[in-house]
Amino acid sequence: MRKIYLLIITAFISIAAYSQTEVGTWQFEVGTSAFGENTIKHGTSTGFNLFSTDGTTIFSIGAEGGYFFQDNTAIKFGLGYTDLDFTNFLTYKLGFKHYAGGNVPIQIDLTGATNEDQDTFGGGTIDTPDPLWLGFQVGYAAFFSDNVAFEPTIRYNASLNKDFTDEGILELKFNFVIFF
């Protein structure tokens, strides 16, 4: 009996998820990512983050949006702002998000950032190159209601700019998505 209830609940969630990812639907997404010790990754942020270690504080704010141009597939865009102790970045994102089975979001995007000012670090002024990443993301959309979902995801940003960093960035993200 328990298996039957689980099957019914799963079917209901899948049907509700599909109706939110139809052509013409918009989505608005805010979230955060789990931070590690690598401060470079905060240039990829289009979410809310606060991190402090060894006297360095990093703050990020941003959001993403998308438009479903076909069922289960949206074109995504995002903006974010990161304030580091020694410089600031304006982050942008453009890509695609597909909901496999209606509730497994898979995203591929290009994420970049522009350095908002000259760095003043150690008494001198230096230029920081603008970072650029190719992002891959997969997760699960748990729908709380017809138009609100919680999406925990795993994301990997592959560096496309070796002048900034040649390291990739692995993140665990926690997003809330509103569909309208």
Give yes or no for a contact between 132 and 161, defined as CB atoms under 8 angstroms apart: yes
In angstroms, rounded to a whole number, what is the distance separating the alpha carbons of residues 80 and 66? 15
Give yes or no for a contact between 39 and 54, defined as CB atoms under 8 angstroms apart: no
Structure-token pair, residue 53: 């270690």
- Taking residues 98-121, report their average pLDDT: 82
What letter would DSSP give residue 22? S
pLDDT in tens, 119-139: 544 445 556 667 788 999 999
**More reliable by pLDDT, 179 or 145:** 179
- Taking residues 160-174, report their average pLDDT: 77
pTM above 0.85? no
- Taking residues 148-170, report their average pLDDT: 83
